[in-house]
Structure 1
């Protein structure tokens, strides 16, 4: 099922009301419908980016990256950024735009992401915020200084995969990253005079882990180099698995301690499938379509009788005031 731009625009105000009108008491009893925002959450490797593209093919959307490492330029293999081809022509905001040496923080993310959400809505499209940095999402949604929750209706999709299955997938993905050239990619930014891996893109898993190998490789024979490299690769896998556990812990905190309504979609069968075709079929059936239904219901939420009546009353009030001002 595809939702047209006209249908999803039902979730938006029917008219623009001058700011001076909004200050008048006649508007105080009624609350205007909020704009809609989709969040896609999940641990590293669960297919969040894939789902964001799936939804963008079904709804007129633009995508905002909320991964604190993927915001930086460079290291495409290390950061596992969605490629131009994989983006399928859909605009992606906050993806690979920040200087790799700059220490981008949650406050800057919130300000930039809020601006992106506003610009996407102005185009009549749906913002989809996707990434594994739950601390960024938490700050954006809960910090009162940004007023995000008071301005927007939020729908949270959680792509979930059991930890043992995900750990196995992460291990295989690191092996594929090695085959794709992660070692040479990280070597390109290695500086023997720098030991600080706490800022910028140098925080990315894969960069500090390879540091000992780069420092030792010139003094080792071929067997020693291979052993040191395997230790680095194993460390990358271990730290990625630890990241997965931290991400899931934060998601559970948002669900149980903060009371967020997270729509969980189980991607397990897509990961367990033995062939790509079976995996794609399972993904479409168990992840993409259920997520589409959740979003469809969410976008149509404002079409209740109460909302329609409220809008009608607002329109009538504005028209009446227009006559008074003429």
Structure 2
């Protein structure tokens, strides 16, 4: 089934004033379906979520804790209007950059967004790499579990392959204007542990930006090279932490969870066959899983969920060591 969404790509404003609570009739209504697309940074979560939203009537709720903020679109690698292909997005670029948007904020706004999407007979797709947000919604909210059937797509890429891709992606971000974007946002002495300033790229460029107006060209070149190297290293470390978190969360989840290995796509990036591999190994299997989730009630259940996990051949600790040494 393919439904083309005719509306322009828009970043839907968060819905405020949410009040929780269960009414009597909610105990008897069937559970609503919610799809999660998760994975480490750089694995293609946003692309898969958008691809699926052009095959099924769906809207996307961003669950990346830095992409919820206004600003630093290059640094946070937000999807562009062209990339979202008319699919409505919620909680993307809408929060004041000075506000500390926490897991409880995400949970409350996501509740309202889900109800709004379901009210339009569309599938909510929650996509992003901030697993603490997803954990707060799924595991820390009994009401959410009582009212929703969930399917989890885990887009996975082997860490050595992902590390190489992340390095290339940072170089492309620098070419696209990452340094100038941070320079415009930069405030000397500001607390880089609050709000959007926590984004990877801000603290790393601090020393370079402070010295930019006074240092000689050789010093500036060295500081910039070091900053870019730190951005790459810290992004890779983030990917490792996100993957470790997914493994920990899986121990708590008994719902449909499916690992989709996209490593081959990244190994062939830049080549003509990469698109065909994406369709065959990532989008195709994902679409089949979602179709079963939406229309085949027998697919649901804890036993099926456990059977759908693909255990990586390389132990996580060994994979992390291969990237960080």
What interval of TM-score do these two structures reach, taking the shorter chain for normalisation?
Answer: 0.7 to 0.9
Query: Superposed, which structure 2 residues align to 1:67-78 within 5 Å?
Result: 67-78=64-75
| Alpha-carbon offset, residue 4 of structure 1 | 10
SS at match of 2:64: coil
Give the Cα–Cα distance (whole angstroms) in 2 for the partners of residues 110 and 178 of structure 1.
Answer: 33
Q: Does structure 1 retain, via aligned residues, the 8 Å contact 2:262–2:278?
A: yes
Give the Cα–Cα distance (whole angstroms) in 2 for the partners of residues 255 and 40 of structure 1.
Answer: 14
SS at match of 1:149: helix
1:153 aligns with 2:149: yes
Query: Superposed, which structure 2 residues align to 1:80-229 within 5 Å?
Result: 80-144=77-141, 147-194=143-190, 196-229=191-224
Cα-Cα RMSD: 2.0
| Alpha-carbon offset, residue 261 of structure 1 | 3.9
SS at match of 2:74: helix
Partner residue in 2 for 1:230 = 225
Partner residue in 2 for 1:249 = 244
| Alpha-carbon offset, residue 212 of structure 1 | 0.6
SS at match of 1:242: helix
- Report the count of equivalent residues: 282
1:282 aligns with 2:290: no
Query: Superposed, which structure 2 residues align to 1:307-322 within 5 Å?
Result: none
Structure 1, gaps ≥5 residues long: 6-18, 305-326
Q: Does structure 2 retain, via aligned residues, the 8 Å contact 1:65–1:129?
A: yes
Q: TM-score, normalised by structure 1?
A: 0.82
Give the Cα–Cα distance (whole angstroms) in 1 for the partners of residues 189 and 262 of structure 2.
Answer: 43
Partner residue in 2 for 1:49 = 46
SS at match of 1:275: coil
Give the Cα–Cα distance (whole angstroms) in 2 for the partners of residues 214 and 303 of structure 1.
Answer: 57
| Alpha-carbon offset, residue 254 of structure 1 | 1.2
Q: Does structure 1 retain, via aligned residues, the 8 Å contact 2:3–2:54?
A: no
Q: TM-score, normalised by structure 2?
A: 0.83
Question: CA, structure 1 residues 137+228, in 2 after alignment: closer, same or farther (shift >3 Å)?
Answer: same
- Determine which structure has the larger helix proportion and give its number: 1
Q: Does structure 1 retain, via aligned residues, the 8 Å contact 2:151–2:255?
A: no
Q: Does structure 2 retain, via aligned residues, the 8 Å contact 1:48–1:130?
A: yes
| Alpha-carbon offset, residue 221 of structure 1 | 1.0
SS at match of 1:77: coil
Question: CA, structure 1 residues 248+175, in 2 after alignment: closer, same or farther (shift >3 Å)?
Answer: same
Partner residue in 1 for 2:264 = 269
Structure 2, gaps ≥5 residues long: 6-22, 300-325
SS at match of 1:76: coil
